[in-house]
Structure 1
Amino acid sequence: MKCTTCFHQCDIPEGGSGFCRARVCRDGQIRPENYGRITSLALDPIEKKPLHDFYPGSLILSAGSYGCNLRCPFCQNHEISQENLHSRSLYISPEQLVAEAEKYVPEGNIGIAFTYNEPMIGWEYIRDTARLASEKGLKVVVVTNGTASLEVLEEILPWVDAFNIDLKGFTDPVYQNYAGSLEQVKAFIQRAAGEAHVEVTSLIVPGKNDSPEQMDRQAAWLASVNPDIPLHITRYFPRWKDTDAPTDIGLMKELQQVAQRHLSKVYLGNV
């Protein structure tokens, strides 16, 4: 059976799993094996998502599962994103997660963020939980690499208030290194920004996406979608398979100035 969740369009045999390790074929149907399987749950500052211009100063209950449809060698959460942790996860139903989020409202919680791994590979859980959360007046945030299909995006878009979307570079070779698709991410950003609050994050990796020319093209394109989209330029640190030195802070400041030629809100992170 063909999985149409993302650009990979995996042909999954009966009993097998897709590239993401989370979608499987059972009884002739593609299903999210990670539905409701939570590996990480924390009450985070909204700025950690990162969202700068969406309810600043608030908290949000952040939930993560396992699996990812990219292979970034510097992944900060590779322990959950690049593994199948079904047996080491805890099942939390949509109703239970919403109830947990409501419990923390008196402490400043505004809702639920789907994050840590790539949440869109389990979009059915986002959809089912977000519907319930919206009925309770809770906000819904999705932190994603943006490589899901537009058909899948439409399934959740009515109930999502904000996205942070990774834009890992602005050339096809960058995305090929990570088993991704630049065009899919661009389409995802454009559609999401038409309906919800969107902020974009670009992790600056030395030698991959750190040229001023690439940032200029990227920022100009984002401005063509909406010049007020906040862009977060964040610092690479060695993790998992990558051992390169952290991004030079001076270069990050230079790239910020380049992006500010086109965008009204450009923030530096991890400096």
Structure 2
Amino acid sequence: MNYPARYWHHLDDGRIQCDLCPRYCRLHADQRGACFVRMREGDAIVLTTYGRSSGFCIDPIEKKPLNHFYPGTSVFSFGTAGCNLACKFCQNWDISKSRDMDRLMDAASPEEIARTAADWGCSSVAFTYNDPVIFAEYAIDTAKACHALGLKAVAVTAGYITELARAEFYAHMDAANVDLKAFTDEFYVRECGAHLQPVLDTLKWLVHESDVWVEITTLLIPGLNDSEDEVRALSQWVAKELGTEVPLHFTAFHPDFKLTDLPPTPPATLTRSRRIALAEGLKHVYTGNVHDREGGITRCTHCGAALIERDWYEILDYALDDTGACRKCGTALAGRFGHFSSPFGSRRIPVAIHRQPAAHAKP
């Protein structure tokens, strides 16, 4: 089912230009954009994946990763197909690079998604697995349905979106984890088929001109973007342009898709990178995809107390009050917080969209 898309205009030469992402694909009749899911149909552009998902799953919010957004809660996660980047190291390439639309067997309206998430006791819905920018209309409508039921909306994204589209898209998001893939344009061009500057522009706009809670993830790939100089430059930019309290996650690469000839990221690389970022003034720096208890601790920026202690996605200790302030000294922690009760933990629960949860399985 094709859905009328927004963010496009006609060109004088008869083509239609998509204005959703900085690729600005110019389409002839029946041609698809680089994302594969936005297509010219007749005299307009349509979204071919509206209401169709690659699957639904309940995760801990820390898996997005978001460490300062209602810690310990569960998030209802889903994606569609396609992507507007061409990352050689994509860890979800079977979804993001899918060209077989028939594999998307889970159909669901925005209202059905929100209702199912609420029935399972989730606090939020995350658009993830592939980039929600390319299914913006579906994500926006689902976010609206979530808000109607008191749920939050989360975008897990590469931030590759135009100035024209980003205000409307993020107006409906409560939080975003933005994947800052590297800190050189050379890397973006060679490894992702994109450019760095639009991502930096999105990050600055999100932090300074929106109410969206933002965290950043950088996947460190051996020999490509993990040098001390690049990590230092990235950390300095975050501190200067975004602020020292924006959380930064360094995560470990594992060989996949078109980069199977590289080794996994050594844990020592993540530890070193975290140390560099902290030395550059960032206050909340985490490691991911490796077992690192110290790299998962959230500390008070004033007294240094451990506010949230984690082991992978398990919360072992929580020392914040309901307002998100340190119980020891009263200093507020940057983020979004509420009443903390029993944490969801590290479970992963696949969900059928129309099935009501059994009483014994409900989180």
TM above 0.5, one fold?
yes
Deviations along 1:78-112, one digit per CA (max 9) or x if unpaired, are 1110113322213211111111111112xxx1021
Tell me by how many angstroms 1:262 deviates: 2.5
Q: Is structure 2 residue 68 aligned with structure 1 residue 49? A: no
Please identify the structure whose Cα radius of gyration is greater.
Answer: 2
Note if contact 1:40-1:116 (Cα within 8 Å) is conserved in structure 2: no
Inter-partner Cα distance in structure 1 for 2:272 and 2:32: 43
Inter-partner Cα distance in structure 1 for 2:98 and 2:43: 24
Inter-partner Cα distance in structure 1 for 2:100 and 2:161: 21
Deviations along 1:99-146, one digit per CA (max 9) or x if unpaired, are 1111112xxx10210000111101111111111211221010000011
Deviations along 1:6-26, one digit per CA (max 9) or x if unpaired, are 111001111110001111011
Give the secondary-structure state (helix, strand or coil) at the position aligned to 2:139. Answer: helix
Which residue in the other structure is 1:245 paired with? 263
Structure with more of its chain in helix, by fraction: 1
Q: Is structure 2 residue 279 aligned with structure 1 residue 265? A: no
Inter-partner Cα distance in structure 2 for 1:83 and 1:53: 32
Tell me by how many angstroms 1:151 deviates: 2.0
Which residue in the other structure is 1:182 paired with? 196
One-letter amino acid of the counterpart of residue 286, structure 2: Y
One-letter amino acid of the counterpart of residue 254, structure 2: F
Q: Is structure 2 residue 247 aligned with structure 1 residue 230? A: yes
Inter-partner Cα distance in structure 2 for 1:223 and 1:30: 39
Deviations along 1:202-248, one digit per CA (max 9) or x if unpaired, are 00011111111111111111112121010000001001111211112
Inter-partner Cα distance in structure 2 for 1:40 and 1:262: 40
Deviations along 1:177-223, one digit per CA (max 9) or x if unpaired, are 11112101001111122321000000001111111111111111111
One-letter amino acid of the counterpart of residue 202, structure 1: T
Moved more, 159-168 or 145-154: 145-154
Matches within 5 A, 1:144-163: 144-163=157-176
Q: 1:219 aligns with which of 230, 235, 242?
A: 235
Normalised TM-score (structure 1): 0.96
One-letter amino acid of the counterpart of residue 113, structure 2: L
Q: Is structure 2 residue 131 aligned with structure 1 residue 134? A: no
Inter-partner Cα distance in structure 2 for 1:133 and 1:20: 26
One-letter amino acid of the counterpart of residue 199, structure 1: E
Inter-partner Cα distance in structure 2 for 1:47 and 1:248: 22
Inter-partner Cα distance in structure 2 for 1:208 and 1:165: 19
Paired-residue identity, %: 37
One-letter amino acid of the counterpart of residue 174, structure 1: F
Give the secondary-structure state (helix, strand or coil) at the position aligned to 2:236. Answer: helix
Aligned length: 268
Deviations along 1:122-177, one digit per CA (max 9) or x if unpaired, are 11111111112112210100000111112221112222110000001101101001
Give the secondary-structure state (helix, strand or coil) at the position aligned to 1:165. Answer: strand
Which residue in the other structure is 2:76 paired with? 61
Moved more, 186-195 or 226-235: 186-195
Inter-partner Cα distance in structure 2 for 1:198 and 1:139: 14
Deviations along 1:64-87, one digit per CA (max 9) or x if unpaired, are 100001111121111110113322
